[in-house]
Structure 1
Amino acid sequence: MKVAVMGAGAVGCYFGGMLARAGHAVTLIARPQHVEAVRRDGLRMETKTFDEQVRLEAVTDASGARGADLVLFCVKSMDTESAGRELKPFLRPDTLVLCLQNGVDNADRLRTVLPEHPVAAAVVYVATEMAGPGHLKHHGRGELVIEPALASERVAEALRAAAVPTDISANVRGALWLKLILNCAYNAISAIAQKPYGENVRGEGIWDVMRDVVDECLAVAKADGVHVPADAHTATRKLVEGMPSQYSSTAQDLARGKPTEIDFLNGYVVRRGQELGVPTPANRVLWALVKLLEKKA
């Protein structure tokens, strides 16, 4: 396949890099410093099982998606509509745009911008970071759950062949909510403390705070008619076992002085709770504290 990665940060570089290693023609659309490093040296993929310089294309603008069979859409949630408009002139009518983003409503928002193109939501389970320009560091996991769409089975087969475990699910909305709940439990705390998950959960009272956050998220999901496909409390406790050294994406953004996606994580739960009449005080506190730290940064 011809693949473009729109917003090639840590998540996009991991999945785009895995497809490139499997022989697909991959173009990263990324910031200039990453593009320069990848063009010069390739993408360094330092993963749990290999450490390689992977050769692929890299550009700084959306024209890199021209004629692609698949676009991995990995921009920050606040940039969903603007990035979709940038992509639109370069997409074929049958180009599948796969949203690999945090939050639960990005695919719906993207469909309003790309109404003539197939758009599918995906749930991403991977712990990664950009350790430097053109240098991806993988901390654990690497699975995808995608919703049915035009060519989604073909894409899923290609991802599996590239050593990316991939499922197609009719309940991606519920799976996105489960991922949202995990993010709400971990991301803000990691950002506020600037510590990895394994250290945070040893803090006094932190598990109690996380339990309150999860309870509120589940109450909002229930009121919204969402079927969460697993025990969210068990999933929250198990997450840290697989990635104790991981800093949340929110923590990484704050450390770099960048805007975070907190409005689309705990902030989304707060807003949806207000609309549905469900109180969310624990999520509100975490959201408000991260917003203060954003202004400080």
Structure 2
Amino acid sequence: MKIKKVAVLGAGAVGSYVIWGLSSRNDIELGAIAEGERAERLKQNGCTINGKIYHPEVWNPGETDAVDLLIVALKYGSLSAALEGIQKATTENTVIMSLMNGVDSEEIIAEKVGVEHLLPAVIKVASHKEEDGYHFDPETTIGIIFGELTAPYDSDRIRAIEELFKDTGIHFRATEYAREEMWSKFRLNVCNNLPQAILGAGVGCYRDSVHMKAISDGLKGELEAIAQAKGIDLSKTEASSGRGSAVPPSARYSTLQDLDAGRHTEIDMFSGALIRMGKELGIPTPYNEYTYHMIKALEEKNDGRFNYTGDEEPTWSK
């Protein structure tokens, strides 16, 4: 297998890392899938990444025949609307690598196109958006981790992707523990992404506050109990993936970035998913339930629901 055509669906913080790396290859076709105003914007302005403008081709989902590798890098809330486009872009030999947060995007996509197309993967990149586009540190970025769920782990498509990423600047690693790697990153997101979003402070808060550390540990305990009940042994990845990318204490992860920008977050994919799994397994998730409702309330605040003027009907405190 040789990968000659790569499509990226979602040219945001995660997709930018892929576009940055693969743009260095002149022996492949590289395009971003987009429609409507977003497509026109990409065609005119390109993608600004680490201060440089990149111009991948821009393809409509119906124009992406014979894509060898489709990289899905969407926000969770955009996935449902994109499934038809993913189906259009998937041909018999297309490999799909979902680099979305969470642990269920592969299942959602597989229901539409078939599980045989999915190659489990996870990305760890501390990317953030500034006025001039997306920024990340290529050297400290952990990168993309991927692997087959069952043997042979050194499959043709694994070797093809290793060859694709080689010498591009993209950091990557194949693994025999793809599911555990995905849950390991899920744990990092739930424990380090969510509490700081409620507090509105940089990630140094976990180091500098015993109270923030206690909240993080509470979320972690619930997640690990659910993982154990599902037969997922997170100890298999402790040596390789116990930490995320190195960041300054002031770093604001994706959930807080969304709230800062007035956007809705991916909380349904994080605590929302854990609450659902906890109910299915009979495992209490009080830390995640509180976190879920707090972040939903912060979204409502951003939406203006609590912009009271003083002219409203009185309410009684209880």
Distance in 1 (CA, whole Å) between partners of 2:197 and 2:18 is 25
1:142 Cα deviation from its structure 2 partner: 4.0
The CA RMSD over aligned residues, in Å, is: 2.6
The one-letter code sitting in structure 2 at the alignment partner of 1:11 is: V
Matches within 5 A, 1:45-60: 45-46=49-50, 51-59=51-59
Distance in 2 (CA, whole Å) between partners of 1:295 and 1:144 is 34
Distance in 1 (CA, whole Å) between partners of 2:43 and 2:188 is 35
1:150 Cα deviation from its structure 2 partner: 6.1
The structure having more radius of gyration, on CA atoms, is 2
SS of the equivalent of 2:93 reads: coil
Can you give the 5+ residue segments of structure 2 that lack an aligned partner in the other structure? 149-154, 303-318
Matches within 5 A, 1:9-28: 9-23=12-26, 24-28=28-32
Does structure 2 retain, via aligned residues, the 8 Å contact 1:123–1:145?
yes
For residue 230 of structure 1, the aligned residue among 237, 247, 268 is 237
1:257–1:94 Cα change, 3 Å: same
SS of the equivalent of 1:120 reads: coil
Matches within 5 A, 1:25-174: 25-30=29-34, 35=39, 38-46=42-50, 51-59=51-59, 61-63=60-62, 65-115=64-114, 118-132=117-131, 135-139=133-137, 140-148=140-148, 151-174=157-180
Question: After the TM superposition, which of the residue ranges 255-264 and 200-209 deviates more from structure 2?
Answer: 200-209
Does structure 2 retain, via aligned residues, the 8 Å contact 1:6–1:75?
yes
Distance in 1 (CA, whole Å) between partners of 2:198 and 2:35 is 26
| Length-normalised TM-score, structure 2 | 0.81
Q: Percent identity?
A: 25
Distance in 2 (CA, whole Å) between partners of 1:66 and 1:243 is 42
- Higher percent of residues as strand: 1
Report how many aligned residue pairs link the two structures: 288
SS of the equivalent of 2:31 reads: strand
Partner of 2:275: 270
Distance in 1 (CA, whole Å) between partners of 2:35 and 2:261 is 14
Q: In the alignment, is residue 219 of structure 1 matched against residue 212 of structure 2?
A: no
Does structure 1 retain, via aligned residues, the 8 Å contact 2:180–2:237?
no
Partner of 1:254: 259
Distance in 1 (CA, whole Å) between partners of 2:128 and 2:20 is 14
| Length-normalised TM-score, structure 1 | 0.86
Distance in 2 (CA, whole Å) between partners of 1:221 and 1:41 is 43
Distance in 2 (CA, whole Å) between partners of 1:197 and 1:31 is 36
The one-letter code sitting in structure 2 at the alignment partner of 1:190 is: Q
Does structure 2 retain, via aligned residues, the 8 Å contact 1:187–1:249?
yes
Does structure 1 retain, via aligned residues, the 8 Å contact 2:34–2:61?
no
